[in-house]
């Protein structure tokens, strides 16, 4: 076979690994600075010259460093070969719902989502381990990735993997936590939309480390705020100080874009109670605000005398000035926008009409228990939801997450909220409740490791062995509650693309992944291994599982609509309204491939083994598809 034909065949094969993060960044650098590459490698001296004065040559510089950082950086450069296996039988409205619950290690899942959801997530909230020494339980070895997880979750044979707590007597107490968080936050940033934001719950143990970490990943210029949440109202007398608060650290993908898109909080009953209409103004209810301010930078026109309707002449108090100039004050008075009191004798105050304040209140950074709930109130609500079972120790209140959803998402758009430390599933419930409150269609993606629940007789007897089982049960219970509430209001339930949730589980690829390092050296055994890999689908995998792996690795979302078509007697899946056609027939006939061309898709994907070694047919298919503007790939 000619080299040209060989290249054409190789170009058709779709990679079964996730995106090469390092490779993508190198290609971006090559596009910006082609002159710094020599023989395919980056020449650091040329790069320094190209950057000029932007390069810091000093040995001492400000930055974040810890034992294991280099390994943490390398972690994101290792592509995942995993797959997200659909579980329709356990899902709620699998065919129509756009909500996702994914059981699996969040780092592997984030890698798998990166291509399809890059820049598409509006809001991320996470409640990671606080690193208190008894809840930071992760595999000791972070390097093996998917294989560690498969052993951990019992999907492959082996002795399992060692788990340990991260105690403060460990010499790498903070380093281990940073090494765990760095790759997850790095990939999370890639998923955020340009106006998106990430909100992270944390306590005093790692809040300073988290800020430094986020400054490096998101950029210090994209820091938004650190919110203080009153997590308890009772006093803890057993400690030196009673700690009644936690923090929520917020960063944006792009601060300017976030600030332009972020929402105000709705007006509370207390605020609404301040509005009245004592002068029967036809513009409706209003409240008055002060018209004077500190005089530090005032202009001469802001120091003036004002005559009240009663005839009294008043001036701004000593050291202060009016917030508007004399001309503007006269204009406001003429428009009946200044209130001098019922008798017309008071110091002037500006009238703010309720109709003009409908956009809401500017969020503040102190979130009190009576506004957003506490750990205790959240725990009581969860026990009620689980019919008396105390299924989770430290849930966050739904009201707290609803506030974050209100601020960070738009109710008029079908935006995505991600939580990859889903815990008991508070974020998922908050999204469902927020949608009910403002009749919107946000969707959520919740990811949770099947971490074993500590030996708790009541929880075990209730059928929950892992945190992910608790989370999934909560999601289903909340969906059921919403459905029942809608039925009681005689609202339509069927056809709602948001109500429900699809369940996926992280597993190994449905395809046999060739490992050159592990290949036998003996020629006869190598030939046998190659023969076995010709049909590269793992025995026992369902067609549906293979289909969803290909959809995700083709860069389409897991919720993309799928239609089953018949083309020349063969079954073909039309994904995303015909954007992608996938045929899993083996063997595949030329008439079927020609039939897919007639459907005018952008891409066509089929099994490489389906050509049965007929490379000539494959090359001809590539050329025919290309002539019709169709991208053809095999796997």
pLDDT tens-digit series, residues 465-518: 999 999 999 999 999 999 888 888 776 555 555 689 999 999 999 988 765 555
Domains defined for the chain, CATH in brackets? 82-267+361-507 (3.40.50.150), 283-353 (no CATH), 514-634 (no CATH)
Q: State yes or no: cis peptide before 230, omega within 30 of 0.
A: no
The predicted structure's pLDDT at residue 457: 67
The predicted structure's pLDDT at residue 162: 53
The predicted structure's pLDDT at residue 343: 93
Determine contact, residues 410/382, Cβ cutoff 8 Å: no
A 10 A CB-CB count for 586 gives 14
Helix (H) or strand (E) holding 10: helix 3-12
The predicted structure's pLDDT at residue 516: 52
Burial of 283 (0-12, 13-18, 19+ CB in 10 A): middle
Residues of the chain with pLDDT under 70: 1-11, 57, 132-144, 156-171, 358-359, 455-457, 491-498, 514-535
The predicted structure's pLDDT at residue 554: 93
Nearest to 36 by CA among 27, 25, 26, 45: 45
Determine contact, residues 110/578, Cβ cutoff 8 Å: no
Helix (H) or strand (E) holding 69: helix 69-77
List pLDDT tens digits, range 358-410.
667 789 999 999 999 999 999 999 999 999 999 898 899 999 999 999 999 99
pTM surpassing 0.75? yes
How far apart (Å, rounded) are the C-alpha atoms in residues 328 and 302?
10
The predicted structure's pLDDT at residue 142: 44
Determine contact, residues 71/179, Cβ cutoff 8 Å: yes
Nearest to 139 by CA among 125, 124, 111, 158: 158
Query: CA end-to-end span of the chain, whole Å?
Result: 21
How far apart (Å, rounded) are the C-alpha atoms in residues 613 and 553?
24
Which residues, 6+ apart, have CB-to-CB distance to 345 below 8 Å? 308, 309, 310, 312
H helices present in 518-610, as ranges: 523-534, 543-553, 590-598
């Amino acid at each position: 076979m000619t080299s040209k034909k060989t290249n054409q065949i190789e170009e058709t094969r779709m990679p079964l690994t996730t995106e090469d993060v390092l490779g993508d960044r190198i290609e971006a650098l090559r596009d910006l600075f082609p002159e710094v590459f020599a023989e395919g490698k980056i020449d650091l001296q040329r790069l320094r010259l190209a950057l000029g004065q932007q390069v810091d040559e000093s040995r001492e510089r400000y930055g974040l460093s810890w034992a294991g950082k280099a390994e943490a950086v390398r972690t994101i450069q290792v592509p995942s070969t995993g797959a997200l296996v659909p579980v329709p039988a356990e899902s709620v409205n699998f065919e129509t719902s756009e909500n996702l619950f994914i059981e699996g290690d969040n780092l592997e899942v984030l890698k798998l989502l990166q291509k399809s959801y890059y820049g598409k997530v509006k809001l991320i909230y996470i409640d990671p381990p606080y690193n208190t020494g008894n809840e930071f339980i992760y595999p000791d070895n972070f390097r093996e990735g998917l294989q560690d997880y498969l052993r951990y979750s019992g999907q492959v044979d082996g002795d399992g993997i060692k788990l340990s707590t991260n105690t403060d007597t460990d010499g790498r107490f903070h380093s281990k936590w940073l090494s765990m968080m760095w790759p997850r936050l790095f990939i999370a940033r890639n998923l955020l939309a340009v106006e998106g934001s990430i909100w992270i719950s944390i306590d005093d143990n790692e809040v300073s480390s988290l800020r430094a970490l986020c400054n490096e990943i998101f950029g210090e210029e994209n820091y938004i705020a650190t919110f203080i949440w009153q997590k308890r109202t009772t006093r803890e007398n057993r400690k030196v100080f009673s700690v009644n608060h936690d923090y929520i650290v917020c960063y944006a993908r792009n601060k300017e874009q976030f600030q332009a898109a972020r929402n105000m909080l709705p007006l509370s009953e207390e605020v609404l109670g301040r509005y009245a209409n004592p002068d029967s103004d036809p513009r409706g209810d209003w409240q008055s605000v002060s018209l004077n301010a500190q005089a530090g930078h005032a202009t001469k026109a802001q120091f003036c005398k004002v005559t009240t309707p009663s005839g009294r002449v008043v001036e701004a108090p000593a050291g202060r000035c009016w917030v508007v100039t004399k001309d503007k004050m006269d204009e406001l008075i003429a428009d009946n926008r200044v209130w001098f009191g019922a008798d017309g004798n008071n110091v002037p105050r500006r009238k703010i009409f309720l109709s003009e304040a409908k956009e809401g209140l500017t969020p503040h950074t102190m979130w009190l228990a009576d506004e957003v709930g506490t750990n205790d109130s959240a725990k009581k609500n969860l026990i009620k939801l689980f019919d008396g079972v105390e299924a989770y120790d430290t849930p966050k209140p739904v009201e707290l997450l609803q506030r974050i959803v209100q601020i960070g998402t738009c109710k008029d758009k079908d935006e995505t909220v991600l939580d990859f430390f889903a815990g008991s599933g508070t974020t998922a419930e908050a999204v469902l409740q927020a949608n009910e409150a403002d009749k919107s269609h946000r969707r959520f993606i919740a990811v949770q490791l099947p971490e074993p629940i500590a030996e708790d007789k009541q929880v075990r007897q209730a059928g929950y062995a892992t945190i992910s089982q608790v989370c999934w049960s909560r999601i289903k219970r909340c969906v059921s509650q919403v459905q029942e509430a809608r039925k009681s209001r005689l609202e339509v339930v069927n056809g709602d693309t948001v109500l429900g949730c699809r369940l996926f589980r992280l597993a190994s690829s449905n395809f046999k992944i060739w490992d050159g390092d592990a290949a036998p050296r003996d020629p006869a055994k190598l030939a046998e291994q190659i023969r076995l890999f010709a049909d590269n689908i793992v025995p026992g995998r369902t067609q549906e599982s293979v289909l969803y792996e290909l959809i995700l690795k083709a860069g389409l979302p897991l919720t993309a609509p799928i239609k089953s078509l018949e083309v020349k007697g063969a079954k073909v899946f039309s994904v995303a309204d015909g954007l992608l056609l996938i045929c899993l027939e083996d063997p595949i006939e030329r008439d079927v491939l020609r039939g897919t061309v007639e459907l005018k898709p952008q891409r066509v994907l089929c099994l490489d083994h389906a050509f049965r070694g007929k490379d000539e047919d494959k090359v001809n298919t590539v050329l025919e598809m290309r002539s019709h503007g169709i991208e053809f790939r095999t796997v």
